[in-house]
Structure 1
Amino acid sequence: MRLDPLDRVLLQRVQDDFPLEPRPYRVIGEALGMPEQEVLERLADLSRRGVIRHIAPILEPGSLGIRASTLVAMRVPEERMHKVAGIVNEYDGVSHNYRRDGEYNLWFTVAAMGEEELQRILEEIMRRSMIPPRGVLNLPIVRRFKLDVRFRFLAEEDDDGRDR
């Protein structure tokens, strides 16, 4: 997919230096010499084209007091999938709740302030969803690997228009 040079600069700016301001898109626009509305329109277009999925912060859990988290896989009967997913989604600490193919067909992460709270949440989810312990895999973090993934959008193009 081809991106014009201004889209490339905009994507790089949003990724590397998103301003924590009441009107961040205006600040970005001022830095790039474009009106706030153009920034919003370009980002909406990039989203429609599938270049970006969403714009969101990546928070460091420990700095927010989150000391426990786990990945959970559940075996959910197909006819109860929607109901169980809804129950799971009610918890503030839950993220990344996905239906998957296979025996364990509902996967989500849950985070809490401590291990005791995390266990209470998991037990409550199992009780409310009527999924027995044998239908739940609790896969806690054993070792954290922190990657700083950044995409380079300012690559030059070859004479034939392809990115190098």
Structure 2
Amino acid sequence: MQLDPRDRVLLQQVQDNFPLDPRPYRVLGEVLGMPEREVMGRLTGLSRRGVIKHIAPILEPGSVGIRASTLVAMRVPEERIHEVAAIVNEYDSVSHNYRRDDDYNLWFTIAAADEEELLGILEEIMRRSMIPPGDILNLPMVRRFKLDVRFRFLAEDDDDGRG
């Protein structure tokens, strides 16, 4: 997909230096020499084209009280996949709920303040979904690998996109 130079510089700035400000798009516009409205319009267009999935912070779990997490895989009967996914989605501590083409066809993560809270959430999901324990894999994090994935939207010889 072709991106114009101003979209490229905007994406690089959003990824690397998103401003913590009540009006972040205005600040981005000031940095990049474009009006706030243009920044918002370009980001909306990039989202509609599927270039941007969403803009969100990535938090360090321990700094916000998250001390336990796990990946859960469930073997859910095909005719119940939407029903069970809806139950799982009701929990604020659940993220990354995905359907997979596999025997274990529903995968999600749970994050909680501690192991006791995490297990309570998982047990409640099991009870409400009526998925038998033998059809659930609880895969707690043993070792954390932190990756900082960055995409390069600008080549080394590109200008700053202002002109």
Query: TM-score surpassing 0.5?
Result: yes
- Consecutive unaligned residues in structure 1, runs of 5 or more: 159-164
Q: Which ranges of 4 or more aligned residues in structure 1 deviate by more than 3 Å?
A: none
Question: Normalising to structure 1: TM-score of the pair?
Answer: 0.92
Aligned equivalent of 1:37 = 37
1:51, distance to aligned residue in structure 2 (A): 1.6
**What is the CA distance between 1:157 and its match in structure 2?**
7.1
Asked if 1:154 corresponds to 2:136, the answer is no
Q: Which residue of 1 aligns with 2:104?
A: 104
Q: Report the 3-state secondary structure (helix = DSSP H, G, I; strand = E; otherwise coil) of the residue aligned with 1:41.
A: helix
Q: Which moved more, 1:55-64 or 1:45-54?
A: 45-54
1:154 to partner: Cα distance = 1.3
How many residues in Structure 1 have an aligned counterpart in Structure 2?
158
Aligned counterparts of 2:18 and 2:106: Cα–Cα separation in 1: 33
> 2:139 maps to what in 1?
139
Identity rate, percent: 81
Q: Which amino acid aligns with 2:124?
A: E
Structure with larger RCO (C-alpha < 8 A, sep 6+):
2
Instruction: Give 3-state SS (helix, strand or coil) of 2:137's partner.
Output: strand
2:17 counterpart residue number? 17
Structure 2 unmatched runs, 5+: 159-163
- Is 1:70 the counterpart of 2:70? The answer is yes
Shift of 1:156: 5.0
Q: Is 1:114 matched up with 2:110?
A: no
2:52 aligns with: 52
Q: Distance in 2 between matches of 1:73 and 1:154?
A: 38
> What does residue 95 of structure 2 align with?
95
* AA of the residue aligned to 1:65: G
| Counterpart-to-counterpart distance in 1, 2:32 and 2:46 | 17
The residue number in structure 2 matching 1:5 is: 5
Query: Which residue type is aligned with residue 14 of structure 1?
Result: V
Structure 1: distance between partners of 2:141 and 2:17: 30
Query: Residue by residue, what CA displacement relative to the aligned partner does 1:97-150 show, whole Å, maximum 9, x if unpaired?
Result: 011111111000000000000001000000000011101000111110001111
Letter matched to residue 6 of structure 1: R
* More off after superposition, 42-51 vs 92-101: 42-51
Q: Distance in 2 between matches of 1:103 and 1:148?
A: 31
SS state at 1:14 partner: helix
Deviation at 1:26, TM superposition (A): 0.8
**Range with greater deviation from structure 2 (18-27 or 64-73):** 18-27
TM-score by length of 2: 0.93
Please give the secondary structure, in 2, of the residue aligned with 1:110.
strand
